[in-house]
Chains A and B, each alone.
Chain A
């Protein structure tokens, strides 16, 4: 063993993980440390999942016994009789061969697969253990210098950069979780920046709180003078900003286009999705079905214009003619007023904004839909669902054409939704356009990026479909269980997740990362943008004021 080694293997099994005895003080290793076990031509990569204080005999743990000895002797005695054991969850193994000049170098079969593999064997007793070096991290997670990779953070102890493969990240739906104040929004902003920069996909971002496009003042500093830049400011040629409603300004800035919703865009299922917000009755579905049957896509406008003396007649007349309960129909009309009279609802839009959004996305330009002053759940649920349904249908059609040998494969699309539990909870999951994306749209190159603080509120089936999960600290056991659902080794990961630092530490899990790893996420600061935009002609240089380091990691 050399001085890089921190211990050696003393036992373990494939099922329960490896056990190693530390030869360094216990404080050198933390739960979640990325460690490497060396076994001749192969290495095993794993995570420390438990740290245990042990003694050769219980008597040596008794301070009274130890205090009988002189201080110097006590130190030596403690070093020899008391020790620390770590449990390691093996994640991957790799055949790395022998170094040139070493005895095994010539005999090693150069044709052995040197890619990281699932662990199918265990290292022998006394195999040395060491903390992962930067080259180990790069061997597993990829190089941050690779354009396909994005540096999301660094290992907690040694600070080695950790990258995620954005191409793999967008292959399946993914989620960013964390309790309030853990920095989800900043992390999301960075991941979206990495995604846009990598050109692996376009992103359609539903920005409920108007913070992704033009940035916001740092809420923690309270001064309002320290602006955190948004994606549009840093990547102007790759991001379009769409604002809900005519003439809406987002943080005082003019968007690229305004989004208006036509009455005919609203379907009965959109209304049913708003059952809670509109306090709808059980009879609503029947009424809506009859309305759609009578008036097709013009059902909403026609229904809402029903009044005495109007060409449509009254609600009572229509209800009687269609065998619908009159009071139920009148009640529905009253409740739909809140939706119908929204400023952003219109009979006919002067130009097709949805097509513009789709064209932008298809051309690799990401679109951020800011909700401006429309901050209610009703606005968010209705608009996000309608727009997503239209975009999804477009991608589905283009993909089908591609599969049929016509046209080109559509650009991969990531739909990012904040407060995802509002759209993907158990009652609504089956009614929204998003659940279908999570379940079935991977083949059509559309995936979700779910951002939420209460993952336990999201439908189990949706959660199980999330490939990559990035989670900050979560306090609730149910939320932790939800984030870990469907993953192997969740018992070991549960403790790791619950003991993350409340800020800046996140756990990477799932499909998009080769192995689980707790990391210290990057700061959203000038350095982040400078590094990201290096050699990028289409981005603007960093000039906006960004908070000092201690203020950077802000909660949201």
Chain B
């Protein structure tokens, strides 16, 4: 049966490369670092795909008070973690978009409008979008976090989706593509491969 997800949040701000999302989900259902999200922009508009590059759990005054208390009951802590809607901010880097059935591994022509709903990707979405590997180029160009760490986690998650959909060679192809993309940068390649080695893809 196909996986169905409801939206996980709405977009707060965006530029051509990335957007910031306010998540609605409980803390234990936050999209994972390196996982893929999709941002439908409405009828006749492209659907933007992105990868989670950062998750921030922000505090509010009440949490600060609880945390500062000497004696907190387990019940209060669980209530704060499971029921309290603390602000969760997710940063999503764009890795391409779909125009109808066509996958384009390019930055979107324009960013989504504010408060657009953000959805997690199903295995089918992931496999369809990542069948070709050009989007890895965009991931490697992200400069505000270690590319190796992001790629390692992303490949691990995405390879799992491909395996579940019957493609067990995807991880190898993806690693080869990364090697090709970094062939001119031995230091970068060694750093990225170090992280990918720890991801135990093979």
Contact = CB atoms under 8 A, between A and B. Distances in A.
Interface of A: 56-57, 59-60, 65, 68-70, 72-73, 76-77, 79-81
Contact of B197 (A57, A69, A79, A80): A69
Interface stretch (B1-9, B88-96, B110-118, B182-190): B182-190
A70 B200 contact: yes
24 contacts: A56-B183, A56-B184, A56-B186, A57-B186, A59-B186, A59-B190, A60-B186, A68-B194, A69-B193, A69-B197, A70-B197, A70-B200, A72-B202, A73-B193, A76-B172, A76-B175, A76-B179, A77-B179, A77-B189, A77-B193, A80-B179, A80-B180, A81-B179, A81-B183
B181 to A, nearest CB: 10
B176 interface: yes
A73 B175 contact: yes
Given A76-B175, A77-B193, 12 more contacts: A56-B183, A56-B186, A57-B186, A68-B197, A70-B200, A70-B202, A73-B196, A77-B179, A80-B176, A80-B183, A81-B183, A81-B186
Contacts of B180: 80
Contacts of B193: 69, 73, 77
Majority-rule SS of A interface residues: helix
Contacts, number: 39
Interface residues of B, number: 17
B189 A73 contact: no
Given A65-B190, A80-B176, A81-B189, A73 B197 contact: yes
Contacts of B189: 77, 81
A56 B183 CA distance: 7
A155 to B, nearest CB: 34
B176 A76 contact: yes
A479 B194 CA distance: 54
Interface of B: 172, 175-176, 179-180, 183-184, 186, 189-190, 193-194, 196-197, 200-202
A56 B188 CA distance: 13
A77 B194 CA distance: 11
A72 B201 CA distance: 9
Closest 8 CB pairs of A and B: A57-B186, A72-B202, A80-B179, A69-B197, A59-B186, A70-B197, A73-B197, A56-B183
A75 to B, nearest CB: 9
Nearest to B202: A72
A56 B185 CA distance: 9
A68 B198 CA distance: 11
A60 B186 CA distance: 8
B149 to A, nearest CB: 16
Contacts of B186: 56-57, 59-60, 81
A234 B28 CA distance: 93
B66 to A, nearest CB: 44
B174 to A, nearest CB: 11
Contacts of A77: 179, 189, 193
A56 B180 CA distance: 11
Contacts of B196: 73
Contacts of B184: 56
A72 B200 CA distance: 10
A69 B202 contact: no
A393 to B, nearest CB: 72
Nearest to A56: B183
Contacts of A60: 186
A73 B179 CA distance: 11
